[in-house]
Chain A
Amino acid sequence: MAIQSPSLDLTAGAGTGVRLTPVAITRGYWQSVARRLRRDPVTLVCGVVLLLVVASALAAPWLGLSDPYKTSMIRRLYPIGSPNFLLGTDELGRDMFSRLIYGGRLSLFMGVTPVVLALLIGGFLGITAGFLGGRVNMLIMRIMDVFYAFPSVLLAISLSGAMGAGAENTLLALTLVFIPPICRVSESVTTQVRGFDFVEAARASGAGTLTIVRVHVLGNVLGPILVYATSLISVAIILAAGLSFLGLGVKPPEPEWGLMLNTLRQAIYVNPVLAALPGVMIFITSICFNLMSDGLRAAMDVKA
């Protein structure tokens, strides 16, 4: 009665005299996702660029850069390519290259942390709402609707404005902004998975709720939630920079890309290219995160 697997007959080169090598066809889901990612040049390049930005930001103090806080009244707004100042100097004579590298620390931190926090909180709330359904779902999702009533940019600006400038308040505001969308996505994928027969079958086996969630639900919902969260990172980076640009985020003299854009605005007539540089950094990281998210989505989308 044993049935031969049809896939075994598909070994390459069958019948052509080529030596048959049994192919290991069984591969875990995450393994095959990783393999597809490795074969995606765009995602790879983006990954490398992001790795460079993150690594240089983290290692900034040990890279032998000049002091990003050291001002000088005599060497203000040096053009790009000046000796000793590869990317020139800003309106207070500080080294631009050094400030751009150092700026990555705060800018990336302010972009990634809120999404991670919102992923933990919103993901937990959404999965709970989706799995339990009923009144719990109603309560959680209606509260989320309240936050959803505000456009995200407006909510971030008004929260930051109300709580006052500062990195902590920006983090808090952005986390609050990203919890509702992540919660909503988590809730909808969990509701979908909960309806599958394999969850019914698990319930029929008499397993406890927590065991079912851990073994059968999480494995199937974390992927889509994660993809969605990575797509939010680029929004978060832009929003965080935007808040600093408005003076609602990081306070001077900290190097941060959004804040640098703001303070360099007065220099657009003197040294326009220099004035646009911090935005280039925001743009590059945000586009890389977006492409990574697209690549991840594509890699995880394939069923078989």
Chain B
Amino acid sequence: MLLYALRRLIYLGPVAFGVSLLVFALVHLAPGDPISAIVPPDTPKEVVDKLKEYYGFDKPLPVQYVRWLLVTLSGDFGTSIGTGRPVSQEVGSAFGNTIILAIAACCLAFSLAIFLGTAAAYAKSRIVDRLVTSIALVGVSVPHFWLAIVLVIIFSVELGMLPPMGLGPENATGWRLDWPHIRHMILPTIALSVIPLGVMTRTVRSTIKEILSMEFVTALQAKGMNDRQILLHVLKNAAPVCLAVMGLQAGNLIGGSILIETVFSC
């Protein structure tokens, strides 16, 4: 088992290398070069060349890649040539908010999904199952940035209950765990959690249904175990699949929150 884990980690090497290449390529795919973007359009060519040399943009791409990789691996993300502030600081503050939002949405979506999915898989009545599958279907089909707008329209514009935008009360700096801040997070969290809620509910429901139809469950029943003990066995068997999908969904939340944050940005 340990050997297997180690082997997977070694496989990670080439993949990580590919990822770094891709990230580097993404930056260089961008039209225009970074120097022209920050200097006035009528800057003399000699000055532009000088700047390029200073930042190393005159070197061939492979050289730039290796330099970038080495510097990045040492934990130095460099300084933004646009603002002059360290990139880590620049990205960090924005990323922090995204993470807070993503974690809140994860908690909401996953806990609700496990409950709903299990309930639907166990449901004897068709209505419960239908209801849950409908919720899940809406979850995977709804454009979440639109849902965010609809939520703002209902709760902020029409009912005036919750703030339509911003991170917290005006003039506030940074994020704190208090009611005024949480109030601002309610709508974005709900909007962000619908897609993972839908996907996870479907996954949990189908996984548990499949496990319930396995013969070992019948064997446990025949052994005289009660439903709660059996549920424990079922959940234990469903966990690996569900955790894998959760991981993918959590990753997607970070991307998805860009859209939601756009809706709630001032």
Contact = CB atoms under 8 A, between A and B. Distances in A.
Nearest to B156: A268
Contacts of B254: 151, 154
Contacts of B262: 245-246
Interface string B60-90: 0000000000000000000000000000000
Given A147-B22, A153-B258, A162 B153 contact: no
Interface in B128-171: 137-138, 140-147, 149-150, 152-153, 157-158
A191 B157 CA distance: 54
Contacts of B258: 153-154, 157, 246
Interface in A139-189: 142-143, 145-147, 149-159, 161-164
Contacts of A149: 15-16, 18-19
Given A164-B31, A286-B142, A159 B149 contact: no
Interface stretch (A65-73, A128-136, A204-212, A269-277): A269-277
A291 interface: yes
A156 B259 CA distance: 12
A278 B146 CA distance: 9
A282 interface: yes
Interface residues of A, number: 45
Interface in B198-242: none
A48 B181 CA distance: 46
A241 interface: yes
B255 A162 contact: no
A268 B144 CA distance: 17
Contacts of A238: 143-144
Interface string A193-221: 00000000000000000000000000000
B10 interface: no
Contacts of B11: 142
Contacts of B22: 146-147, 150
A49 to B, nearest CB: 13
A294 B137 CA distance: 10
A276 B147 CA distance: 9
B245 interface: no
A117 interface: no
Contact of B153 (A150, A275, A282): A275
A123 interface: no
A245 B148 CA distance: 13
A158 B28 CA distance: 12
A290 interface: yes
A287 B137 contact: yes
Interface of A: 142-143, 145-147, 149-159, 161-164, 234, 238, 241-242, 245-246, 258, 261, 265, 268-269, 272-273, 275-276, 278-279, 282-283, 286-287, 289-291, 294
Interface of B: 11, 14-16, 18-19, 21-22, 26-27, 29-31, 137-138, 140-147, 149-150, 152-153, 157-158, 248, 251-256, 258-259, 262-263
